[in-house]
Amino acid sequence: MKLPEELQFIENARLPQKTTPARLDGRLVVLTGATSGVGYQAARCLAQGGAHLALVCRSAAKAANVQAELQRDYAAQVDVVQADFTNLANVRQAAQTILAKYPRIDVLINNAGLHNTHRQLNQDGIEMVFCVNHLASFLLTRLLLPRLLESAPARIIQVNSQGHRFGGLDLDDLNWEKRRYKGLQGYGASKVAQLLTVWEMADELQGSGVTINAMHPGEVRTNIGMNNERLYRWYKRYLLWWMLKQPDISGSAIYYLAAAPEMQSISGRFFNQTIDEKPAAHALDRALGKRVWQISTALTGLAAAQPIKEQL
């Protein structure tokens, strides 16, 4: 029985995933959140595929362990840039470090992410999940974009989520002051905002040689949510855990999107791991997307909205 279009993602998760024998020798890949889960698995695949990695991580100690492991296992070239994405000034600093150090960037993978069950604000008064999952990746991408364009062909991959289907984005209440915060919807809001900016950016980048796509890495066993209260941690560890898959599938999917030659000119799409998929209708609202773009530009302190190419 064929599922209705809005439930197709359930079927897609069961399809065989694509892989590629292509290698990334000598390519510079910037990857955020490589110290755990999906990002860690992606780092392993990318290192094995020969990429030179710049890992943007909040914990210098954890990042040093991953770096040592990748050097030992794959003789990979791995650098670490420290940044806490709850702080947008930190993101700017990381971008500056990367721009100063690397004359080219072949792939940018925005993976770092967070799920909070309770509302928290960062030091600038921005809801934390929206800041880490959407604003930080938006800002990092925009700041690194000139170098990606100079390096074309280049790819941007936004590690998004089926969680975008939970909705929750209200541009008049991004900080959840008018509504009771619900973790899944707070998470959903951040992922919807990110998706909407992917379509905007893909349009702007048409013909530039730089592509941008979003992906869902699968429902996998990682540490996401383990920063929350004991009851949630118990639920995740002892109930949810058994429904989740091993996270190596996520690393492999990200590698495919980063390396496969057939992905070179595909842009502005959402992938369920490696399967091209239609996102939820509310994440395809282009008028809303233009407002998200403007608000995100303002909240991250970027120049007023104008075509990306004119900002270079």
Nearer to ligand NAP, 203 or 219 (CB): 219
- With beta carbons less than 8 A apart as the criterion, state whether 140 and 110 touch: yes
- Complex with ligand NAP: residue 31 or 292, whichever CB lies closer: 31
Span of 21-29, 215-223, 274-282, 293-301 interacting with ligand NAP by CB under 6 A = 215-223
> Candidates 18-26, 99-107, 217-225, 251-259 — which segment interacts with ligand NAP by CB under 6 A?
217-225
Query: Any contact of residue 98 with ligand NAP (CB under 6 A)?
Result: no
Query: Are residues 215 and 157 in contact, defined by beta-carbon separation less than 8 angstroms?
Result: yes
Catalytic residue among 40, 74, 187, 256: 187
* Shortest reach from residue 261's CB to ligand NAP, in Å: 25
Q: Determine the straight-line distance between the first and last CA of the chain, rounded to whole angstroms.
A: 50
Residue 55 in contact with ligand NAP, rule: CB under 6 A = no
- Residues with Cβ within 8 Å of residue 250, at least 6 apart in sequence: 37, 38, 41, 42, 217, 218, 220, 273
Chain centre to alpha carbon of residue 155? 13
Q: Is 187 a catalytic residue?
A: yes
User: What is residue 156's three-state secondary structure?
Assistant: strand
Beta carbon of residue 311, minimum distance to ligand NAP (angstroms, whole number): 25
Of residues 147 through 166, those in contact with ligand NAP by CB under 6 A are 159, 161
Cα dihedral 88, 272, 255, 60 sign: positive
- Round the CA-based radius of gyration of the chain to a whole number and report it: 18
- For the annotated catalytic residues, the residue numbers are 187
List of residues contacting ligand NAP (CB under 6 A)? 33, 35-39, 58-59, 62, 84-86, 111-114, 132, 159, 161, 216-217, 219-220, 222-224
